[in-house]
């Protein structure tokens, strides 16, 4: 069984177009033997944001710390620590840290079928 603190996972800058001030840790992924879905940890600095985009897979998200605004197909919606989010496949979405502290959340996705990821 793997038991490992969030902080002890390597943190890398997210280089994706449209992302600003976002860092990621892979908490449970291919290297752990997870074949169905993966747990990633994201940290967004104040004013930072994830890309405004969509894709053909869903997100399951839990906000761990901080607060922000989700740009959704139903308009801008606030969120804060303790909120659970579900983004359906193909739904446009973007998360911006509108607070003064780091925004932290986990975001789970189906395991990529491309084995190089």
The values of phi and psi at residue 4, to 5°, are -150, 135
Is the Cβ–Cβ distance between 66 and 97 less than 8 Å? Answer: yes
- Cα(57)–Cα(1) distance, integer angstroms: 28
Alpha-carbon separation of residue 45 from 18, 34, 79, 90 (angstroms): 14, 29, 15, 26
Q: Minimum Å distance from CB 42 to its own copies?
A: 13
Q: Minimum Å distance from CB 78 to its own copies?
A: 8
Secondary structure letter of residue 7 according to DSSP: G
For binding to its own copies (CB under 8 A), which residues are involved? 1-7, 9, 27-28, 32-37, 39, 41, 57-58, 60, 62, 64, 70, 72-74, 77, 79, 82-88, 91, 93, 106, 108, 110
| Longest CA span, the chain | 41
Q: Minimum Å distance from CB 106 to its own copies?
A: 6
74 or 116: CB nearest its own copies: 74
15 or 106: CB nearest its own copies: 106
15 or 53: CB nearest its own copies: 53
Q: Minimum Å distance from CB 113 to its own copies?
A: 12
């Amino acid at each position: 069984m793997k038991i490992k603190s969030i902080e002890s996972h390597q943190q890398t800058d997210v280089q994706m177009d449209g992302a600003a001030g976002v860092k990621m840790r892979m908490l449970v992924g291919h290297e752990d033997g997870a074949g169905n879905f993966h747990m990633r940890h994201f940290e967004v600095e104040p004013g930072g944001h994830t890309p405004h985009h969509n894709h053909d897979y869903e997100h399951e998200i839990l906000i761990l710390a901080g607060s922000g605004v989700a740009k959704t197909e139903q308009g801008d919606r606030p969120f804060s620590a303790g909120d659970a989010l579900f983004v359906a496949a193909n739904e446009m979405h973007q998360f911006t840290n509108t607070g003064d502290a780091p925004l932290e959340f986990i975001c789970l996705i189906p395991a990529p079928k491309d084995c190089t990821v």
